[in-house]
Chains A and B, each alone.
Chain A
Amino acid sequence: MSERLHTRVDAGAIVPGFLPRAAVAIMGAVAAFLLAPAPFSFIAAALAVAGALFPVMLGAWGCALVLALAQLGRAPDALDWRAYAALATVHLLPVLGALATVVEPSGALQLAALWRPLRRWLAIQVPAQVVLAIVLVASDVFGSGGAGDAATRWAGRHALVVAPVAGVVALVAVAAIVAFVAAIVRRR
């Protein structure tokens, strides 16, 4: 049999098409063992691997859900890095899972195609991490006093911090509601 002739397609900087799937599996498994206690870590890891092998099973979302619930199983602590890692991972897994559902594993993914999802992820993550830090600090403070007076005193002492944080939280909530309503209106 003659040697097969191949057509070479130059698409610029590319990565293998299985990269989103591999990222779901690796990131989900690593995060599962770092952020969730057993046996939830095994469940999350299994969901991540299943989501990588069969993206239409939506295993990435299942893994993200388990990681988020595992975060709720721990006491809130502003100095615990796992809370921030959980927020980042729980958001990143659906982004990668969505890519894995459409990109053929045997194909190639242009590196530039990763930029827009990454930019969107960063745009949401940066303020979200700040809000999470503030919320965790607030939880520490409110949780230790156990009384309204302590909260009032704390808020009075840190008014310069509390006011902007409350504003940001309110802004995010309003933006989410407005975007949701706008999307529904556009669809109609």
Chain B
Amino acid sequence: MTWRRTAVPAATTVTALVVAVVSVVLGRPDGAVIAVVLLVAAVLALRRPREDESARVTLRSSGLDTDRDGSDGEPATGRQSDHADVDIVIEADPDVPLVLVRVTSLGFETQRFAVAPPAILRAHVPLAHSGEQELVAVQVRGVATDAAFISEAEPRASHRAVVEPVLTSVASLPVPLRLRGLTGAHASGRPGDGGEFRDIHPFAPGDRLRRIDWKATARLGRRPGDLFVRRTNATSDLDVAIVLDDADDVGESVADWALGDPTISGVTSMDVARSAAWSLASAFGEQGDAVSFQVLSRAGGAIPRGTGGRHRERLGAAIARTSPHSRLLSRARTPLVASGAQVLLLTTVLDSDPVRLAGLWRAAGHRVLVVDTLPVPNTGGLDKRQRLALRVVLALREERMHELRSIGADVVHWHGDAAALAAGLRVLSRPRRR
């Protein structure tokens, strides 16, 4: 730690010397006493702290529902709740009577404190958003006796946490028209075991004897030896590819779109996207479907398709850690999805790339469900020009929505009315004519 001298000792010394000189000239011992007092105060403050005498800061999570406390360098994990408590422990050497603390929470709000070490400050940070975030960053500076010396700022200490997204219960799940799996929870179109009633069919070689429907045989049999079997549909599992468009992170508050301040943005599109991805992944996973996850901006962080509890945990961790990344149009790639998979594209549809990708997937025969992750806009605080610009943006977006529907993609709005979302998913989950 580098210490720098302030003007305080010099100012006190100069004041003392002037008073002393005038006192001597006037022959005033009371003035000399004042001068001596100032001089003693200046001399006591002249001691420069050693380079190794410093202020230290340690951050630890105390109120977050954590699996890890973040002390091993890895972010702590927790669930989205009202607040997280972070303890800021300030320590310093005995020659440092005052420590200046600068606390930055969620990257935007800064508060400053002057504390006497050792001290523990507790920050109650509102957890308004899911995903990985820097809850608190702290920078400290030591101040020596009477502010005669002040240290350079210590390196910034930060406490990061991964906040799990909100899990919404999904009762109705849309499935593709053709299912190619051999077994699972969804009714398939081909004959087999496990599904619902299909038809009554004449007995054929290969049919099991216990499938013979004797009542149907008695009713339909025309000649001796005619046998009829009761056939059922097979069940099938499903390949689900969740593709998250992480290019935008815009909040409910449209006035904040240019600022990106998480403390005033309200629910953001990434919050909605994470919640939708995690809810759908959990719902499909619980039915035994193979779920994969990838983001649109890059190949890293993709989770290949799989099933089971451990796979669900991996999906949850990957979804919770998703953060916005700029997507260069020239480098936009088409995520690879399994043959016959149902594609769930989570996007704000604020640009036309998702429409292009949905068209490619539809052309390849995939069922595409576009989950609109744009939060319901709050237009408060907008001036006339901004309102006009918003109207243009939303009109272009609506045009893209029409284009998506015209190429056969289904669209649901995730944020807002929960009943409308449930009704929309229920409609999409009904079997449709081919």
Closest to B124 in A: A8
Asked if B46 and A94 make an inter-chain contact with CB atoms under 8 angstroms apart, the answer reads no
Q: How far is the CA of A102 from the CA of B47 in the complex (A)?
A: 18
B404 CB → nearest A CB, Å: 29
Given known A-B contacts A1-B378, A72-B28, A14 and B113 have beta carbons under 8 A apart: yes
Q: Is the CB of B264 within 8 A of A9?
A: no
Contact A124 B8 (CB under 8 A): no
> Which residues of chain B are near A112, meaning CB under 8 Å?
115-116, 119
Q: Is the CB of B43 within 8 A of A104?
A: no
Expressed in whole angstroms, the Cα–Cα distance for A91 and B42 within the complex equals 10
Q: Indicate whether A110 sits within 8 Å of B119 (C-beta atoms), given known contacts A1-B253, A6-B263.
A: yes
CB-CB < 8 A to B98: which residues of A? 102, 113, 116
Does B124 contact A68, Cβ atoms closer than 8 Å?
A: no
Check if A141 is an interface residue, CB within 8 A of chain B.
Answer: no
Q: Give the docked Cα–Cα distance between A72 and B22 (Å).
A: 8
Q: Which residues of B contact A104 (CB under 8 A)?
A: 100, 112, 114
Q: Using A10-B122, A139-B30, A180-B46 as known contacts, say yes or no to A128 and B37 having CB atoms under 8 A apart.
A: yes
Contacts of B43 in A (CB 8 A): 176, 179-180, 183
A110 with B114, Cβ < 8 A, contacts A76-B30, A102-B143, A136-B30 known: yes
Within the complex, what minimum Cβ distance (angstroms) separates B148 from chain A? 7
Task: Evaluate contact between B30 and A135: CB separation under 8 angstroms.
Answer: yes
Q: Is the CB of B115 within 8 A of A11?
A: yes
**Least distance between A147 CB and chain B CB atoms (Å):** 16
In the complex, are the beta carbons of B253 and A2 less than 8 A apart? yes
Distance between B288 CB and nearest chain A CB, rounded to angstroms? 40
Q: B101-109, B212-220, B231-239, B366-374: which one contacts chain A?
A: B101-109
Residues of A within 8 A of B19 (CB): 65, 68-69, 72, 90
Binds A, one of B10-18, B178-186, B334-342, B391-399: B10-18
B-chain residues with CB within 8 Å of residue A27 when the two chains form the complex: none
Q: How far is the CA of A10 from the CA of B253 in the complex (A)?
A: 29
Q: How far is the CA of A179 from the CA of B9 in the complex (A)?
A: 14
B 39-51 binary contact with A (CB < 8 Å = 1; else 0): 1110110111000
Which A residues are in CB contact (< 8 Å) with B30?
Answer: 71-72, 76, 83, 87, 132, 135-136, 139
Asked if A103 is at the interface (CB within 8 A of a chain B CB), the reply is yes
A171 to B11, CA, bound (A): 25
Complex CA gap A186/B44 in Å reads 12
Q: What separation, in Å, do the CA atoms of A120 and B47 have in the docked complex?
A: 15
Main secondary structure of the interface of A (DSSP, over half): helix
- Which chain B residues border A108 with CB–CB below 8 Å? 111-114
Counting CB contacts under 8 A, is A172 at the interface?
A: yes
Of residues B6, B35, B36, B148, which shows the largest number of chain A Cβ atoms within 10 Å of its Cβ? B36
Q: How far is the CA of A21 from the CA of B345 in the complex (A)?
A: 58
Segment 95-139 of B: residues with Cβ below 8 Å from A: 97-98, 100, 103, 105-106, 109, 111-116, 119, 121-126, 128, 136
List the A residue with the shortest CB-CB distance to B256.
Answer: A1
Asked if residues B38 and A94 are in contact (CB atoms below 8 Å), the reply is yes
Counting contact residues on chain B (CB < 8 A from A), the size range is 35 or more
Known A-B contacts A1-B380, A7-B124, A76-B30; A17 and B36 likewise in contact (beta carbons under 8 Å): no
- By the criterion CB–CB under 8 Å, are A179 and B40 in contact? yes
Q: Given known contacts A11-B121, A95-B146, A106-B112, is B264 in contact with A5 (CB within 8 Å)?
A: yes
Q: Provided the pairs A1-B264, A6-B109 are in contact, do residues A87 and B125 lie with their beta carbons within 8 angstroms?
A: no
B113 contact from A2, A107, A117, A120, Cβ within 8 A: A107
- B365 contacts A by Cβ under 8 Å: no
A2:B125 contact, CB within 8 angstroms: no
- A86 touches B (CB below 8 Å): yes
Which one of A91, A107, A187 contacts B112 once the chains associate, using CB atoms below 8 Å? A107
Given the known interface contacts A5-B126, A98-B148, A187-B48, the answer about A72 and B31 at a Cβ–Cβ threshold of 8 Å is yes
Tell whether, in the assembled complex, residue B146 and residue A139 are in contact, meaning their CB atoms are under 8 Å apart. Answer: no
Assess whether B165 is interfacial by the CB under 8 Å rule: no
Residues of A within 8 A of B46 (CB): 180, 183-184, 187
Which 3 pairs from chain A and chain B are nearest by CB?
A107-B112, A7-B105, A1-B381
Known: A61-B15, A95-B146, A102-B98. 10 other contacts (CB 8 A): A7-B111, A7-B123, A90-B19, A102-B143, A107-B111, A108-B112, A112-B116, A120-B41, A120-B146, A176-B40
Selected A-B contacts with CB under 8 Å, 14 pairs: A1-B381, A7-B105, A9-B88, A58-B11, A65-B19, A76-B30, A87-B37, A94-B12, A97-B8, A98-B147, A102-B150, A139-B29, A179-B40, A183-B46
